[in-house]
Chain A
């Protein structure tokens, strides 16, 4: 990693609801380097989407509020600047694509209108120039059909719409692209095409990608480095090879085991027992303790820190922290 594009430090994002405070993001720190693809993985409701929306400044406020920490983008703290300054960065230097291509485009405006809009918000160019740029970008994402700019979203398939969304995000060649489960709603063959497309764009333009997903298969395909989140916290963070070869945190291991394997003759598929904790009533110790198969007494009383288990490999679990202590005493 040569240079950091995005650096989130100790981010705390809370939602102040009638039922109490929900700590949706609780002390998350992560980095995305230039040209790097970082995967943010976890079950639904673990805070990964909220983290990504916080980078964009798209958390509705109230009820949401960043109470501590910082989001440094190219040296600017996005949590400190005004909405107006944030709008200048949004769509231009940081762009985002979403999970639902079917509903993420405005049904009442043409593809052309919506693509050109991005250019015209951020650059002083006339319509025909913006149109040219839009056509070129659509060609880059694999749509070269004549007249596409005058089509409405409903005339396109889900895969095509997601390509349009990607074109829209890439229009101004952003430094960081946030992709929030961009392939979840698509069928498998289209999924592979979209992933290929994003990989190519990453190589060609050097765009850094923060890739949010719950699909470990997609992560293996796409990401250089992986951050695993559980209940608003990071539980494990390392590169792709280490994570798949040697997952440390019991939650990550559970996720790996949940992937069905061909050679496995079991009747029932594995799933992690229990559910993601209710955000209003977080467990007092380790948040994963109630679902963990290796749970110890200490896990129920105090929360583990996110510590290095080896170089470039962080895990939030007492298991390895004890192992490490034992290791140091034996030498």
Chain B
């Protein structure tokens, strides 16, 4: 297993190099003089020169690239043009907000998706199966902004059950430590804040988790049905094993491998920041952070933001690959059958 992990980590290096080249070219892909584009038409030559030096645009491209990589390796992601803050520091709370939301959304999606999928496959062609798959079909086709607005209208406005936006009641006094508000609240023993943070999470997490939930449910169902037809499931039944264990032990473990891929990909997408959901629910996440940077032509932020998101995506896929090897012993040995 350890040699497999090391092998996978080594394979990560070319991916990361490729990624750094792409993010590096973001600034250079701007037509004309990037510095002029950044500061706008009315800038003085001195201002343009300042930006140029600031971004290192006056040096040859390969030197710029190596400086860029060196800075990243030191943890220096540059400075925001607007706030003049270090991006590495500035992005943290946004990243935490997005991660908290994405993880909760994914937990909802996995829990409901996997169980709906299992039960649908188990009771194939029953009314439960048809209903669950109809829900899943509606789920994948639902425009997420519309779902978000409907949730706000129904649960926040009509029923007044749940808060409609933000991460916490703005009147509440609260010190962020990790910026994962639910965790911070537990650390501080502030149960009122914990409850409030969770309540604020529900609507956006459900909106964000609906599509992955539907995809996972459909994937689980078809994967379960395929495994249920396999010879070793017949063997398990021939042993006299009860139906529950046939389904939850022998079938699920095998059926979960393709589902794991979907979960990994979807989590990567959610962590990439869901601009729509974050906008509708005024969630101060990384999606909105980068979106605002794009509107403001804040190039260093765009560049570093993309780099961070891409890195997260790659790391999650690495974790999924390692989980494969853990679930399926055939993978580690590098030969399947």
Interface residues of A (CB under 8 A from B): 56, 58, 87-92, 95-96, 98, 100, 102-109, 117-118, 121-122, 152, 154, 165, 168
Contacts and interface: CB of A to CB of B under 8 A. Distances in A.
B32 interface: no
Contacts of B84: none
Given A56-B238, A91-B240, 14 more contacts: A87-B241, A91-B241, A98-B234, A104-B234, A106-B236, A106-B254, A107-B232, A107-B328, A108-B329, A109-B253, A118-B239, A121-B239, A154-B330, A168-B235
A105 B235 contact: yes
A88 B240 contact: yes
Nearest to B327: A108
A91 B239 contact: yes
Nearest to B235: A104
A169 B333 CA distance: 29
B230 interface: yes
B250 interface: yes
Contacts of B241: 87, 91, 117, 121
18 contacts: A90-B238, A90-B240, A91-B238, A91-B239, A91-B241, A92-B240, A95-B238, A100-B231, A102-B337, A104-B232, A105-B232, A106-B232, A107-B329, A107-B337, A109-B253, A152-B329, A154-B336, A168-B235
Size band of the interface chain B makes with A? 20 to 34
A58 B234 CA distance: 8
Given A90-B238, A168-B239, A98 B328 contact: no
Interface string B103-127: 0000000000000000000000000
Contact of A106 (B238, B240, B242, B250): B250
B59 interface: no
A117 B237 CA distance: 12
A105 to B, nearest CB: 6
A95 B236 CA distance: 11
Contacts of A90: 237-240
Contacts of B242: 87, 121
Contacts of B253: 108-109
Contacts of A152: 329-330
A17 B240 CA distance: 27
The 5 closest A-B pairs by CB, nearest first: A91-B240, A91-B239, A90-B240, A103-B231, A106-B232
